[in-house]
Amino acid sequence: MSLVSAFLPSDSYRKRRTPNGEAGLVKQFWSAGQFLRGLRVQMRFGELTRAPLRLLRLQMRAEEVECDWVARALDPWDASLSNRVQQRHASLQTLRDAIDVRALLFQMFPQIETAHFRVYRESEDDEREMIVIGCTQRNDNTSREVHSLVMRAKVLGFRFDMEEERLRKLSTKGQFHAGNLCDSNATP
């Protein structure tokens, strides 16, 4: 018997594995890798902003997942546009990304039923501001009939505050914690 085989499970152990045991963990790792690759490939460039998304955290628990990322920065090619148009492009891109990340997450993790999201933006003083938070369910398919991007994001369970076509910073207290967002339909 080699040193390596002494630490590997025996064949009898492999036959007794449960679907939720070791095989389930390997499947979750595989799904996480697929999600990260999909995020890197599909979300490399946005339609309105070419900067990439920056994933901050991906956490899986049973049938739930939490995913946090930093929204895309303003596109340098928009510098000649008014500040309002630049902010509008960045805000719409952030909402489109949230919807797309949600779809990718539920596609890559078939066992997940609930997903919690937090989207941040880099501020002028190098601090992160939370601008979108959401708790979405796999079975939320009513948004397909909604044509407005902003309303589609709201129907899917994303919460945000838009003022003059710009996403505003959300309060990090009280109603905007992802855990209680699924229980209530609190709006900012």
* pLDDT tens, position by position, 76-124: 787 888 889 888 989 999 999 999 999 889 988 888 899 999 999 988 7
Q: Please give the Cα distance from 73 to 91 (Å, whole number).
A: 10
Q: Determine contact, residues 164/120, Cβ cutoff 8 Å.
A: no
From residue 2, how far is each of 6, 9, 12, 15 by CA, in Å? 6, 13, 18, 22
Q: Do 122 and 128 contact (CB within 8 A), yes or no?
A: yes
Extents of the domains making up the chain: 10-181
Distance CA 139, CA 156 (A): 10
Global confidence as pTM: 0.74
Q: pLDDT tens digit string along 39-55?
A: 777 666 666 667 778 88
| DSSP secondary structure letter of residue 175 | G
Which secondary structure element, helix H or strand E, spans residue 38, and what is its range? Answer: helix 22-42
